[in-house]
């Protein structure tokens, strides 16, 4: 049995129809009674959440502004410890901190650096608390000598810093040598640095140290009066190399009264009756 095929020109052509754009359809559940109301309530909740967030941000901003404007944000309490010759007022002034400062804005590292560069302060620690204020603990430089001037008692530390203090401190520094005729210049600072490196047993034997230059060729000369009445002459720039042999000099020349240390030589003068 044969099957007849239609001729191509007799086949009907299908008409092309334009494609319709896809649309989003909302399907409602037949069991929901009021779909429009549900959508409205959800939208309302979202708006309320946004308003709540905005109110919370505004509240936080107002609280921060109120805190910084209130006395609670201020340092209020300042405490200083470890100081003996330095007054608490002088330390706070050197640190540059006051009760009116905002505690959170106080930089403890900067305060420590400022204090360490101040006179008579060897080391310090600064701490702060939100409600405990600022606490400063200092370690003062050692006092190596003192001066008695028209303005009162002056103490001197190991790098040449000097400070006028109350005369009642004389009993504390009386065991240190007294300095005479010194100018507070670079040479004085160098003297203090060299002198502080001498053995403490040698320094304790000194009574007075006088700056005694011989113009114009010997501007480094100092005169050291010992507690036993002997006199030493030395040079500031050669002090360490010369006086470190003090005990050997006294052992080899015990009968001398005047000792002049100049370079690697020691000139000894006998005592006069």
Q: What is the pLDDT of residues 56-89, one digit of tens each?
A: 777 777 666 665 655 666 777 889 999 999 999 9
**pTM of this structure:** 0.72
Please determine, for residue 179, whether its predicted confidence score (pLDDT) is greater than 60: yes
**Same structural domain, 136 and 202:** no
Q: Which residues contact 258 (CB under 8 A, 6 or more apart)?
A: 230, 231, 232, 233, 268, 269
**Using an 8 Å Cβ cutoff, are 180 and 234 in contact?**
no
Per-residue pLDDT, 71 = 64
Please determine, for residue 6, whether its predicted confidence score (pLDDT) is greater than 60: no
Q: What is the pLDDT of residues 92-137, one digit of tens each?
A: 999 988 887 877 788 899 999 999 999 999 999 999 877 778 999 9
User: Does any domain span residue 5?
Assistant: no
Q: Which range marks the domain in which residue 171 is found?
A: 143-270
**Same structural domain, 112 and 192:** no
Q: 62 burial class (0-12, 13-18, 19+ CB within 10 angstroms)?
A: exposed
**Same structural domain, 119 and 173:** no
**Cα–Cα distance measured from residue 208 to residue 187, given in angstroms and rounded to the nearest whole number:** 18
What CATH number does the domain containing 126 carry?
Answer: 3.10.20.310
Higher pLDDT, residue 50 or 62: 50
Q: Which residues contact 25 (CB under 8 A, 6 or more apart)?
A: none
Q: Give the chain's mean pLDDT.
A: 83
Strand, helix or coil at 262? strand
């Amino acid at each position: 049995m044969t099957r007849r095929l239609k001729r191509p020109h007799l086949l009907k052509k299908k008409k092309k129809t334009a494609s319709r754009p896809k649309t989003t359809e909302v399907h409602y559940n037949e069991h929901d009674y009021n779909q429009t109301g549900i959508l409205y309530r959800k939208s309302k909740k979202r708006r309320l959440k946004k308003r709540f967030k905005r109110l919370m941000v505004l509240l936080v901003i107002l609280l921060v502004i109120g805190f910084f404007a209130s006395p609670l944000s201020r340092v209020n309490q300042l405490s200083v410890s470890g100081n003996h010759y330095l007054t608490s007022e002088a330390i706070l002034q050197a640190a540059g901190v006051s009760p009116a400062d905002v505690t959170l804005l106080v930089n403890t590292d900067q305060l420590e650096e400022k204090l360490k560069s101040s006179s008579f302060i060897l080391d310090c620690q600064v701490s702060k608390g939100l409600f405990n204020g600022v606490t400063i603990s200092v370690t003062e430089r050692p006092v190596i000598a003192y001066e008695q001037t028209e303005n009162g008692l002056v103490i001197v530390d190991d790098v040449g810093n000097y400070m006028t203090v109350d005369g009642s401190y004389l009993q504390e520094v009386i065991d240190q040598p007294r300095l005479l005729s010194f100018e507070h210049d670079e040479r004085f600072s160098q003297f203090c640095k060299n002198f502080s490196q001498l053995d403490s047993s040698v320094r304790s034997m000194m009574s007075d140290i006088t700056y005694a230059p011989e113009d114009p060729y010997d501007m480094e000369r100092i005169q050291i009066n010992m507690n036993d009445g002997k006199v030493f002459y030395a040079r500031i720039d050669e002090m360490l190399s010369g006086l470190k042999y003090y005990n050997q000099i006294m052992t080899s020349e015990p009968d001398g009264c005047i000792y002049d240390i100049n370079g690697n030589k020691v000139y000894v003068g006998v005592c006069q009756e």
